[in-house]
Each structure stands twice: as C-alpha cells, then as structure tokens.
Structure 1
Amino acid sequence: MSKEPQSSSKIWMKFLPLMLSVLTMVLTCRKDILSPEFRIVSLSPAMTEILFAIGAEKNLVGVTTFCDYPAEAKELYKVGDFSNPSMERIIGLKPDLVVVNIPEQKRIKNQLDQLRIKTFVSSPRTIEDIYREITAIAALVKKEKKADSLIAYMKKNLKPIKIKERKRVYVELSSRPLVTIGASTFLNELIEMAGGYNIFQDLTRDYPVVTQEQVIKRNPEIIIVLHPDGIGERLGWAEIPAVKNQRIYSGLEQDCLMRPGPRLVQGLKELKRIILE
C-alpha cells in the first residue's frame, strides 16, 4: 500500500526547529556586528590609543573630540570634549564601562558613580603604571595576548642609553604660570632614558609651578617647550646656556610625550635626537 504524501504543514513543522536554529545564529552574528558585547566609552585619548593597539576598537562605542589617534578614532561617535563630555550622550550609549582620567575628570567620575555606571580610572604616573593599566583594560576585553605583545614592544624600545655626562634639561609645559615636570612622571623617566637630567626632578609634585628665578639658577643646557612662547626674549634668561647656544626646542609632537601610551616610543626617539645633538 502506498503512503499518503505528507501535508505542507507537517513538512513545515518537521523543519521548524532547524530553521529557528539557523535564524538564531544569524541574529546572534548580526548582534555581534552591530553591538559589541562589552561597550566602552573612552574619555581618555591615551586609553583610546591603547584599546586600538590591542585590537579592542570594536568595543569602543564613544570617545571624546580629543581622541584623534589613530585616524579611525576620529570616526567614532563623540560624547563631547575632554573636560566637558555630555552625560546625556554617555548614558544614551548604554556603556558597560567608561574610562576616565584622574584627576582631570574627577567631577565626571563622581557623576558616573551616582548613576551607577562603572568606570575604569586611568591615572598613570610612571611607565610601569602604564603597563599595569594596559594589562588591566585588556583583561576586561579579553585581549591579554595582544596586551602582552604591546607591553613587550614598549619595554624593548623604552630603554635608557648609557651615557657618562647628562645634559641639564628644563621642560616647560606652560608659561603662565611656569609649569614643569617633577620626578614621579613618565616624562621625567623619558628625559633620563634619553640621556638628560631634569633640573626639577628633586620636586615631589608631578607638575609643579616654578619661578623664573629658579629656572635661571638651575642653568639648563637644553630647554624643551611644549607650548608656543618666546623664551629667548625673557628678561634675565639670555645667559642661560640653552638660550646662548640656541638649544631651545619647540614644535615637538606633544601627544608622543604627554599621552601615556604606545607612542611614547616615538617620543623617546625624539628626545634622544634633541639631547644627544
């Protein structure tokens, strides 16, 4: 006896579980493309660079207007500038984590704490601090191997040169007031690695305010200026060796010296070129 052909409804029911399984896979893949599992808003230009460097850029859903490197970072959604990001925009992105710089963004962190939005505090003082932060953020996005490779690259290239006589170096971050660098900063470490001696490394504050008289007395042989200003025209500075010998350097790529991230490698190369000239 021949069997009756199955009805279309029975055939549909037979393949329904398989079709639902395929549909679920498609939707899951689509969700991963459109929305990363761990959503990060980075208010730190340096940490934005680090997240790109360890291959976690897909986790970034928002950044500040100051997050301009690498070039792809410029295409990301902007939540505002470094000092005054829009809390409304940050909340709208539904982040799992917001990266903040301390002490500069302490007020913003307090607001995020009140809203019970998790934060990752970036506040590196030394190069070792930078390595620790790279490791910590990488663990959150499951990029530990990439982080290890990045740290290995930085350690390989951030090494001190051997030199007998070090040049006295004055770094000026601001002219009104005069702001320089103290001992416990990664820029001070870079100066030493490059063969220089920071004339204010005895000061305990990270970025102390100093006087013109102090600079003149400490008699720098090299002056590095990270802002546009006519140092050579200042009253009483004419006899400073750096001024007399025209060893004043400005126009450097600030981000390679002041952003605690991978580009410190380029910053050190530039400092070596200047100090060993």
Structure 2
Amino acid sequence: MRWRVLGLMTAVWLCVGAAQAADPPPRVITLAPSVTELVYAAGAGADIVGTVLHSDYPPAAREIRRIGDGIQASEESILALRPTLVVAWYPTEATRALDSRLQTLNIPLLYANPGTLDEIPALIRTLGQRLGTQAHADAAAAALQQRIDRLQPAAPPAQTVFLEISTDPLFTLGRDPLINDLLARCGGINPYADSRVAAPQVSVESVLHLDPQVLIMSPYGRETLEARTRWWSEHGLTAARQGRIYAIDPDWLHRPGPRLIDAAEAICRDLQRARASLGASAAP
C-alpha cells in the first residue's frame, strides 16, 4: 500500500510539473501608459516585463524596463524579454509590423482601445481572464462600473463644452467616441464632435463664434487655470468671463484607462457647477 501511495504522489508531482512547463507565468509588454494602468487594475502589474517611456502610474510602473517611447518600440528589445502577451492601445503602422513578427512566434497582441466608458471595466475583465487574475480583475471592474453607473449629468439641455488640450497651437478633441461618451454622461456636448479627426487644430475665432458654455482645459504645459481664464476673458469668451472654465488632470483625461472614471466624475461635477452658474446669471 505504501508503494502504491508513493506511486500516486509521484504521478501527481509529474502532472503538476508538466502543467507548469506547458503554462509558464505571463510575461507582458505594454505599449501605452493607459494599457499599463489597465493591466495593474486587472491585478497583473507584476507580470509586466517591459513598457514605454511615459508609463508612470501606479508608481511601481516607473521601475519597469523601457522598450520604446509609445510611438516607436524596439522589436529586438521586446522579443528579448520573451513576452507571452503584448498589449497595445490601437493599431498603428508600427504595431501592425510588430504583430506580423509576433504571429510567427505565436505571441498574441491584444488592443485595449475602449470606445465607451463601459468598455474600460470590460477590458479589465478580459485582461484578468488572460493573465490568471480574474477574481481581482472582476472586483476592480465591478467597482469601476458602479462609479460609471452613478455619474450624475447636469440638468438638460446639454451644455456645449470646449476641451482645450493644447494652447499654442490651439487643439481640441473632436471625433473621439470615448471622450464624447464621457461628456454625454455628464450632460455635455462637444461642438467639434463631427470633426474628421480625433484632435483637430482650431482657431480662436471659431471657438469665439461657437461660444461654448463651458471650457475644460487639460494642461500638459505650464499654463494655469488662472492664466487661461484671463487670456480667454481678454479675447471675449463668455464662459471665461463668467467663471465657467475648469482644469482637469491631463493624465486622467487622455489615458483611456481606469483613471478616466476620475476624469468623468470631476467633469460631471464641473458641469453641475456650470449649470448652477448659468441659472444664476439668467436670473432677473
């Protein structure tokens, strides 16, 4: 009987060893800061072996090896890290070329490019399933979904919102379904939503002509809310003169990951304040 038990135990150990050999731990490459944040949200941040220059959140991501700048990535550096999964933001010429090489090595490339706020928790669940962290990912996704469902839009009608993402030259967000979904949930509408591109350059005159009720700036440079409020007031923008100009952390707004929900909550609050301001200015 003793030898039979030992034989069974040996068989179990051999099976476990074979399973481990056939299913190595994940080794993930992330090709955008937002993707890095999504993988961490899914509970698999420790599995990231390479990422791009500006992946700096959460703080632990700053210690990950860099393999490119987010626009170009070194194919040799990526392959040297022996990835089991590469995750990019959206298809580009560079990622398509990389995908062709990865396919020959049976390394999957996944795109994480949400088109609505609801797709952010869905992506976290997908990453959790792929990386063996489903319980953590499901919990994180459920918490984000609850926050999305609780977003409170300002009272109708929708307010027009100009999103200033660069000052010189002046750029805004246009045909960006994710950001326009965010604005709609907060009771806002983007007057440039029908632009042919996601981030069109616009003129000061066109903004003044549209006269948006709210301006939200996401400064990557040195521009402050006070400085932009003063500048737009001097140029005659009603929203600036009446105090309906707000600032949002650009990393929250421009990274389509978990912190975009932080941006949504902040913008919803801003539009509620703007609605109150509009009501007060219209009162006799």
* TM-score interval (norm. to shorter): 0.7 to 0.9
Alignment partner for residue 134 of structure 1, among 121, 124, 128? 124
Q: Shift of the alpha carbon at 1:36?
A: 5.8
> Which of structures 1 and 2 has the bigger CA Rg?
1
Match of 2:258 in 1: 262
The correspondence for 2:54, drawn from 61, 66, 72, is 66
- Compute the displacement of 1:37 (Å): 1.4
Question: 2:153 matched to which residue of 1?
Answer: 161
> CA separation in 2, counterparts of 1:203 and 1:47?
26
Unaligned stretches of 5+ in structure 2? 274-284
Please tell me whether the aligned partners of residues 100 and 121 of structure 1 are also in contact (alpha carbons under 8 angstroms): yes
Which residue number in structure 2 is paired with residue 11 of structure 1?
none
Q: Distance in 2 between matches of 1:101 and 1:201?
A: 21
* CA distance, structure 2, for counterparts of residue 192 and residue 221 of structure 1: 15
Report the equivalent of 2:280.
Answer: none
Whether the 8 Å CA contact 2:72–2:94 is kept in 1: the answer is: no
Aligned to 1:43: 31
Whole-angstrom distance in 1 between the partners of 2:48 and 2:144:
23
Structure 1 position 191 matched with structure 2 position 178:
no
2:86 — aligned with what?
98
The residue that corresponds to 1:241 in the other structure is: 238
Shift of 1:204: 5.5
User: What is the TM-score with the length of structure 1 in the denominator?
Assistant: 0.76
Q: Which residue of 2 aligns with 1:111?
A: 98
Farther-moved stretch of structure 1 (86-95 vs 167-176): 167-176
The one-letter code sitting in structure 2 at the alignment partner of 1:247 is R
> What fraction of aligned residue pairs are identical, expressed as a percent?
27
Unmatched 5+ stretches in structure 1 = 1-13
Contact 2:53 2:68 in 1 (8 A): yes
Q: Look up the match of 2:278.
A: none
**Do the aligned residues in 2 keep the contact of 1:216 with 1:237 (CA within 8 Å)?**
no
Correspondence for 1:223 among 202, 206, 215: 215
Q: In the TM superposition, what is the alpha-carbon distance from 1:212 to its structure 2 partner?
A: 2.7
What's the CA shift for 1:57?
1.9
Contact 1:221–1:240 (CA<8 Å) still a contact in 2?
no
Aligned position for 1:271: 267
Aligned pairs for 1:74-89 (under 5 A) are 74-89=62-77
What is the one-letter code of the residue matched to 1:178? L
Q: Structure 1 residues 235, 272: closer, same or farther in 2, change over 3 A?
A: closer
**Structure-to-structure mapping, 1:191-210, within 5 angstroms:** 191-203=183-195, 205-210=197-202
CA distance in 1, matches of 2:232, 2:128: 50
Q: CA RMSD in A?
A: 3.2
Any conservation in 2 of the 1:126–1:184 contact (CA below 8 Å)?
no
Q: Secondary structure of 1:210's match?
A: coil
Q: Which runs of 4+ in 1 moved over 6 A?
A: 233-237
CA distance in 2, matches of 1:133, 1:52: 12
Aligned to 1:6: none
Cα 1:180–1:234 shift into 2, 3 Å? same
Deviation at 1:157, TM superposition (A): 0.9
| Whole-angstrom CA distance in 2 between matches of 1:188 and 1:42 | 26
The Cα shift of 1:69 comes to 0.8
Deviation of residue 149 (structure 1)?
2.2
Relative distance call for 1:67 and 1:36 in structure 2 (3 A) is: farther
Distance in structure 2 (CA, Å) of the matches to 1:61 and 1:180: 34
Could you tell me whether the CA contact under 8 Å between 1:226 and 1:254 is conserved in 2? Answer: yes
Residue 234 of structure 1: how far off its partner (Å): 6.2
Q: Deviations over 1:94-133 (max 9, x none)?
A: 1112112224x43144134235343112222322333443
